[in-house]
Amino acid sequence: MSRFFLIVALSAFLGGASPAWAGDWPEFLGPKGTAHSADEVPTRWSETENLKWKVDLPGRGSSSPIVVGDRVIVTCWLGDDAPTSRQVACFNKNTGERLWSVDFPIDYTEDPYRGYIMEHGYASNTPVSDGESVFVFLGKGGVHALGMDGTRKWSVDVGKESSNRQWGSAASLILYQGSVIVNASEESKAIWALDKATGETLWRADAGMLELTYGTPRVVTLADGRSELVVSVPSEMWGLDPANGKLSWYAQTPMTGNVCPSPIVAGDVVYSFGGYRSSGCIAVRAGGKDDVTQSHVLWTNRSSSYVATPLLHEGRFYWINDQGIAYCTSAQDGEVVYRARVGKLEGGRPVYASPIFVGKHIYVVTRYSGTIVYPPGDSFEPIATNVFANDDSIFNATPAVSDGHLYLRSDRALYCIGF
């Protein structure tokens, strides 16, 4: 392994264990979006084993829970085929006691409950928190800031448009310094930066090419201390200045279809997967100017990842795609290490959740067939598949981890798993 590549891999791994975040899991894929936790959690569970508590949820959702201090926060949508409202609900992370909830009625026209919306619903965006406020993105319902006690601070409408596919909103929020970054590609074909204290628009970057961009943007910190906001759109990857939204660089990519997975950052290298029907993956060194396709693209390759954001661990990517195939590829060149069919998984598109690495194992939630646990390595060798037999609803969300506990949500319930 080259010295450069070793530094990149270690940076990705250590980034998930920053002491500044303590035991919190404050955003999609955890601290800094690395999907790593040094905690040890059970590899096996059921209704009678290693289940600390379970609470019923008021509605469905594909958004992941976040954990801030002693609170677990999750979003849901209420209603049958036509949503009537969205709700943000907060629970005590130790007991499951419901602390508060805030409803956001839907008094506007939503995308119809058909196609991919039947797969993920109307609550797909994971909240983010700085420990003082919770910021939630509700698609056409806007962006909202809540206090840790559920009090409303501000609300901002970021558009009510629909893409040409009408698949609904998916991207999650991130924080950058004093701003909340919003990928409102579905709602307004724009990326917004909102003042996290007031909701005031700091900048807005509009681009037609944002259509069908469903991933969560990420921030890259360069060696000279500058930051770049990276986003993967159909056929290109972009680096923006997070202070003003202006485009710094772009690179052509093989992902010409919709792009669902979020970019993955390791040091100054950005990886992107996705694109249906033309799928692929790419590695780009950040920090360039204008068209960097020839100068900063490290490699491109063909690989399958339509929905989940792959896990980067020790120089390899791991994920199970929405066709039920487990992949491991090299981060050095994108070449496949292994490709293995998981086995019989129930339902169409059996996996929506992204993998996370906890302790020594990879955890992947399937929609109907439980959570698969397996070690990283040269072959796919699962050690457990954990099913809650009494919950036949959909499990679409990536889990959260905090203080030795795994928090898992379905369309029906929120679970706390621990020793």
Query: pLDDT tier at 21 (50, 70, 90 boundaries)?
Result: very low
How many Cβ atoms sit within 10 Å of the Cβ of residue 371? 22
* d(C-alpha 158, C-alpha 161), whole Å: 9
Strand order in the sheet with 280-285: 264-266, 269-274, 280-285, 297-301
Query: pLDDT tier at 279 (50, 70, 90 boundaries)?
Result: confident
Rounded mean pLDDT, 346-352: 90
Rounded mean pLDDT, 302-331: 91
**7: pLDDT strictly greater than 50:** no
Which of 46-50, 139-143, 341-345, 398-402 shows the lowest per-residue confidence on average (mean pLDDT)? 341-345
**352: pLDDT strictly greater than 60:** yes
Q: What angle (nearest 5°) sits at the alpha carbon of residue 33, between those of residues 351 and 124?
A: 45
Can you give the pTM of this predicted structure?
0.94
Q: What is the DSSP string of 62-83?
A: -PPPEEETTEEEEEEEEESSSE
Percent of the chain with pLDDT over 70: 94
Give start-end residues of each CATH 2.40.10.480 domain in the chain: 220-308
Rounded mean pLDDT, 72-95: 96
Name the CATH architecture for the domain at 1-63+311-419. Answer: Beta Barrel (2.40)
**8: pLDDT strictly greater than 50:** no
pLDDT tens digit string along 111-131? 999 988 998 999 999 999 999
Rounded mean pLDDT, 386-398: 97
Query: pLDDT tier at 225 (50, 70, 90 boundaries)?
Result: very high
pLDDT score recorded for residue 306: 75
pLDDT score recorded for residue 154: 98
pLDDT score recorded for residue 22: 67
Rounded mean pLDDT, 327-350: 93
**11: pLDDT strictly greater than 60:** no
* d(C-alpha 64, C-alpha 235), whole Å: 28
**142: pLDDT strictly greater than 70:** yes
Closest by CA position to 181, among listed 254, 113, 118, 230: 230
**17: pLDDT strictly greater than 80:** no
pLDDT score recorded for residue 205: 98
Which H/E stretch holds residue 22?
none
Closest by CA position to 87, among listed 100, 104, 70, 73: 104
Closest by CA position to 87, among listed 144, 128, 45, 30: 144
**187: pLDDT strictly greater than 80:** yes
pLDDT tens digit string along 54-67? 999 999 999 999 99
Query: pLDDT tier at 45 (50, 70, 90 boundaries)?
Result: very high
Amino acid at 319: W
The sign of the torsion formed by the CA atoms of 49, 50, 51, 52 equals positive
**90: pLDDT strictly greater than 80:** yes
Give how far Cα 223 sits from Cα of 27, 56, 240, Å. Answer: 25, 46, 16
**406: pLDDT strictly greater than 60:** yes
pLDDT tens digit string along 245-258? 999 999 999 998 89
pLDDT score recorded for residue 5: 38
| Chain mean pLDDT for the chain | 93
- In the numeric block, the tokens 């998984």 are attached to 345
Rounded mean pLDDT, 223-250: 97
pLDDT score recorded for residue 18: 35
Phi, psi dihedrals of residue 111, rounded to the nearest 5°: -65, 145
In sequence order, the 6+-apart residues with CB closer than 8 A to the CB of 3 are none
Rounded mean pLDDT, 395-413: 98
Q: What is the DSSP string of 79-117?
A: ESSSEEEEEEEEEETTT--EEEEEEEE--SPPPPS-TTH
**92: pLDDT strictly greater than 50:** yes
Percent of the chain with pLDDT over 90: 88
pLDDT score recorded for residue 260: 93
Give start-end residues of each CATH 2.40.128.630 domain in the chain: 1-63+311-419, 65-171+173-214
Say if residues 182 and 173 touch (Cβ distance below 8 Å): yes
Name the CATH architecture for the domain at 220-308. Answer: Beta Barrel (2.40)
Query: pLDDT tier at 348 (50, 70, 90 boundaries)?
Result: confident
pLDDT score recorded for residue 278: 66
Q: Which CATH class is domain 65-171+173-214?
A: mainly beta
For residue 277, is the peptide bond before it cis, meaning its omega torsion is within 30 degrees of 0? yes
**3: pLDDT strictly greater than 90:** no
**10: pLDDT strictly greater than 60:** no
Instruction: Say if strands 152-156 and 371-374 run parallel, antiparallel, or are unpaired.
Output: unpaired
Closest by CA position to 34, among listed 57, 54, 59, 8: 8
